[in-house]
Amino acid sequence: MHDLWDRLFHKEAAEETNTDKFLVVGLGNPGREHKGNRHNIGFMAVDRLAEVCQIELSKVQNKALVGNGRCANQPVILVKPQTYMNLSGDAVGALARFYKIPPEKVLVIFDELDLPLGTIRLREKGGAGGHNGMKSIINHLGQEFPRLRLGIGRPPGKMPPAAYVLQDFGPDDLPLVAEMLNEAVRAVETFIQEGINLAMTRHNTQRKQEE
């Protein structure tokens, strides 16, 4: 009887450990008018991840669209803040606290002007780099959380960056965008399974020759 109890206890303990979740956040602006914007590539990445992992983003919680499920055989919560970009931290901070997820298991995906279109870069931690959504999240979580930057390139000519990021991707961009989103999904899966260091080693070489 004691052996049976011990086996059941250890099984329950293992299952409790396996419920440690990852919070995967894509940044963007809500609303149909922003759906195809360069600034919404984070939303697009989470949508693609939801499709691959068969997770439905249907729950509204803490000012965000949320989906619970499994990716790469690990429990994850996918998040698209609905606060508009510069208040993204309101949603992310509240969800991280609610689910008791430490910063090192919060992965934030966002657009990066200083990377060529199609390039992805993972980092273990860091500053906001001028990105308002990241500034807001850092205000809530500090700088010690991983992030995945998706390159959208610099604006042409003298176009202001603020106008550029709120434009839709052009038709010629879309094949490269699709390729980048698929690579982003693979990077997230590696991060969840193997950790940030291996994910950086494996995926940060994408399109290196073009930088």
Q: CA 66, CA 202: separation in Å to the nearest integer?
A: 28
How distant, in Å, are the alpha carbons of 3, 5, 129 from that of 85? Answer: 54, 51, 15
Nearest to 41 by CA among 152, 127, 174: 152
Question: In the block, which residue shows the tokens 């510069």?
Answer: 86
Active site residues: 39
CB distance 160 to 148 below 8 Å: no
CB distance 27 to 110 below 8 Å: yes
